[in-house]
Amino acid sequence: MDASFPKSERLCGKTAVEALFEQGKSVQAGCLRCRYLRRGEGEEASRVVISVPKRHFKRAVKRNLLKRRIRESYRRQKHLLGSGTDMLFVYTSREVLPYEAVYEDMTRILEALR
């Protein structure tokens, strides 16, 4: 099990993100909402983008903390998901939740995407 999070697993590019919003489906669990689009099995690794709204967290320190928690919980559980899926994770809670809560919500989302 490779628990790294290389650059190739990060979703970037305007056309890829636009396709995710136009054609993707959505699932929510607790503090996380996930927008996803399957590209097909056998494709390269799944790609991820993470968003924490500035509207709810004015301080960059808190936004970065939450992004780290989401990234870490995804990195530790990405084996639950196959390959070839683009995902956008949005933090929806208005308070800073502990890592364990984010980890459990990530588990529920990844199991729903199986």
Average pLDDT over residues 11-36: 92
- Listed by start position, the domains of the chain span 7-112
Average pLDDT over residues 19-30: 92
Give the separation between CA 1 and CA 14, rounded to whole angstroms: 30
Query: Tokens representing 27?
Result: 């699932």
Residues 6+ positions from 52 with CB-CB distance below 8 Å: 62, 63, 66, 67, 70, 90, 91
The per-residue pLDDT for 81 is 84
| CATH topology for the 7-112 domain | Ribosomal Protein S5; domain 2 (3.30.230)
Give the separation between CA 46 and CA 37, rounded to whole angstroms: 10
Confidence (pTM): 0.91
Average pLDDT over residues 80-91: 89
